[in-house]
């Protein structure tokens, strides 16, 4: 017998090595099975906007007078979308109904096996009175990719966006008329099978609600991060690149540890996730990372970890930052890995100019300090990043540009979905 060499697949991380038998040409490795499922899994039709049933809320709450002080995801709008799916029947008619609790069976798979996925996007009340949603097509496509990986039913991007448009239209008075707040949109899809047992879901629910949202962080002092290789969020062959609920639950304990560890040092906001023996920098909390530095070749470079590793979520804001930076053509822009050793050395040599996070909730947030703790290497070092005092002010420019696009001060039609009001 001979070994057939394969590379590690970027979709699943499975090693593509099998033993060649007489019928080796008929063998299929696990990653190829998943790739096939990614393109052929469940081709039944999507839910349809044309079948929408609307039930208006007769006890509507009003938008608070100071929405920018609400924080994140605590004050909800008046309506929600609810759509059920069954493997035999397909998608049922979508409903927009008063915001309310779900009725769910105790054996539902979502409660036992974390078979749940979600998205996060925002709607903004523009300076011209129009409501804009930022690049929602990308969110829906990412959600569909995640659904396939979680063996949850597929749906049509256009139909989903039409439903979300209608939800926003009905609750248009809940979109804050200020550039200090927005309407956060949370679509989700989860398994609702009424029996125990791990397996492909035969029943599911697609739902969406909205929440009035203020600032996620206070950026006056910059964000403080804790980097410790013993705290791991994702790994090769896992599902770190998908927006699944199972990726977030384990990070809550780490967040609690971060708060305790840093209490004596005036607090730390998020963990910075490292990966592998090389201490690859991947993400911070639930956000993507960027570094503006002078690299080893003496080039001014904006660098961010690549998404093809399977270790991090391909963020919509991340993609937008990369595209804007390349459009401005002020520096080299690279999507490539960098390590903690490189970061520490660059900080010591004063080659790091700015370090920042990006995400739908956080937008673009400056990082001012990184506490690097590595027991194995005997390292404990506080890295001070001059982001807040940088003369280049890239973070400030990115934040302003994205905000101007969000609120319609800059027109970028391909990034702005306008919700037509009645």
- Write the DSSP assignment of 193-257 as a string of letters: -SS-SSS--SEEEEEEEEEEE--SS-TTS-EEEEE-TTS----TTSSTTS-BGGGTHHHHHHHHH
Same domain, 252 and 309: yes
Same domain, 27 and 64: no
Q: What are phi and psi of 222, to 5 degrees?
A: 85, 165
pLDDT for res 138: 98
Give the CATH number for residue 132: 3.30.470.10
> C-alpha dihedral over 384, 390, 395, 396, to 10 degrees?
130
> What is the span of the domain harbouring residue 25?
2-40
Same domain, 257 and 387: yes
Sequence-distant (≥ 6) Cβ neighbours of residue 405 within 8 angstroms? 134, 412, 415, 416
d(CA 117, CA 223): 28
Instruction: Please compute the mean of the pLDDT values over residues 309-335 and round it to a whole number.
Output: 95
Same domain, 255 and 300: yes
- Per residue in 345-392, pLDDT (tens digit) is 999 999 999 999 999 987 899 999 998 887 777 778 889 999 999 999
Q: What is the DSSP letter of 37?
A: H
pLDDT for res 286: 80
Same domain, 358 and 266: yes
pLDDT for res 238: 82
Same domain, 233 and 347: yes
d(CA 55, CA 46): 21
State the pairing for strand pair 53-54/18-20. Answer: unpaired
State the pairing for strand pair 363-374/223-227. Answer: parallel
pLDDT for res 23: 44
Cα 239 versus chain centre, distance: 13
Average per-residue pLDDT for the chain: 86
Same domain, 276 and 380: yes
Of the pLDDT bands very low, low, confident and very high (cuts 50, 70, 90), residue 256 is confident
Phi-psi label, residue 88: left if phi above 0, alpha if psi -120 to 50, beta otherwise: alpha
139 and 316 in contact (C-beta within 8 Å)? yes
Tokens of 355: 């370090």
- Which is nearest to 75 in space by CA: 89, 59, 61? 61
**CA 3-9-11 angle, 5° bins:** 155
Instruction: Please compute the mean of the pLDDT values over residues 144-164 and round it to a whole number.
Output: 97
Determine, yes or no, domain membership for 415: no
Q: Give the three-class secondary structure for 69.
A: helix
d(CA 416, CA 410): 10
pLDDT for res 27: 47
Q: 369: number of CA atoms within 13 Å, CB side? A: 13
Same domain, 201 and 75: yes
Give the CATH number for residue 384: 3.20.10.10
Whole-structure pTM value = 0.85
- Per residue in 114-148, pLDDT (tens digit) is 999 999 999 999 999 999 999 999 999 999 999 99
Same domain, 294 and 378: yes
Same domain, 61 and 201: yes
């Amino acid at each position: 017998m001979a070994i057939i060499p394969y590379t590690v697949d970027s979709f699943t991380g499975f090693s593509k090595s099998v033993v060649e038998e007489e019928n080796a040409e008929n063998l299929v490795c696990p990653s190829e099975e998943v790739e096939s499922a990614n393109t052929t899994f469940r081709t039944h039709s999507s839910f349809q906007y044309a079948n929408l049933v609307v039930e208006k809320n007769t006890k509507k709450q009003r938008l608070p007078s100071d929405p920018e002080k609400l924080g994140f995801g605590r004050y909800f709008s008046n309506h929600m979308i609810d759509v059920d799916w069954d493997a035999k029947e397909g998608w049922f008619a979508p409903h927009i109904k008063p915001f309310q609790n779900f009725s769910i069976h105790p054996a539902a798979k979502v409660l036992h096996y974390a078979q749940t996925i979600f998205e996060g996007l925002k709607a903004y009340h523009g300076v011209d009175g129009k409501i804009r949603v930022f690049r929602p097509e990308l969110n829906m496509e990412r959600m569909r990719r995640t659904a396939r990986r979680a063996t949850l039913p597929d749906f049509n991007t256009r139909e989903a966006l039409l439903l979300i448009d209608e939800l926003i239209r009905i609750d248009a008075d809940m979109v804050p008329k200020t550039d200090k707040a927005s309407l956060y949109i949370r679509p989700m899809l989860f398994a609702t099978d009424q029996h125990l047992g791990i397996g492909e879901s035969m029943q599911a629910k697609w739902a969406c609600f909205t929440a009035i949202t203020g600032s996620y962080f206070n950026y006056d002092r910059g964000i403080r991060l804790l980097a410790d290789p013993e705290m791991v969020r994702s790994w090769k062959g896992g599902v770190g690149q998908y927006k699944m609920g199972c990726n977030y639950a384990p990070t809550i304990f780490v967040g609690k540890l971060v708060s305790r560890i840093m209490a004596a040092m005036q607090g730390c906001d998020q963990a910075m996730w490292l990966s592998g023996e090389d201490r690859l920098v991947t993400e911070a909390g639930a956000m993507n990372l960027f570094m503006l530095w002078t690299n080893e070749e003496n080039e001014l470079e904006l660098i961010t970890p690549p998404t093809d590793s399977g270790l991090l979520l391909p963020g919509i804001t991340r993609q937008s930052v990369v595209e804007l930076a390349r459009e401005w053509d002020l520096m080299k822009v690279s999507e490539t890995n960098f390590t903690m050793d490189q970061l520490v050395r660059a900080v010591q040599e004063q080659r790091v100019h700015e370090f920042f996070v990006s995400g739908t909730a956080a937008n673009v947030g400056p990082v001012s300090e990184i506490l690097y703790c590595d027991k194995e290497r005997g390292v404990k070092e506080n890295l001070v990043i001059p982001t807040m005092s940088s003369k280049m002010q890239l973070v400030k420019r990115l934040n302003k540009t994205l905000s101007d696009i969000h609120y319609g001060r800059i027109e970028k039609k391909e990034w702005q979905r306008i919700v037509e009001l009645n």
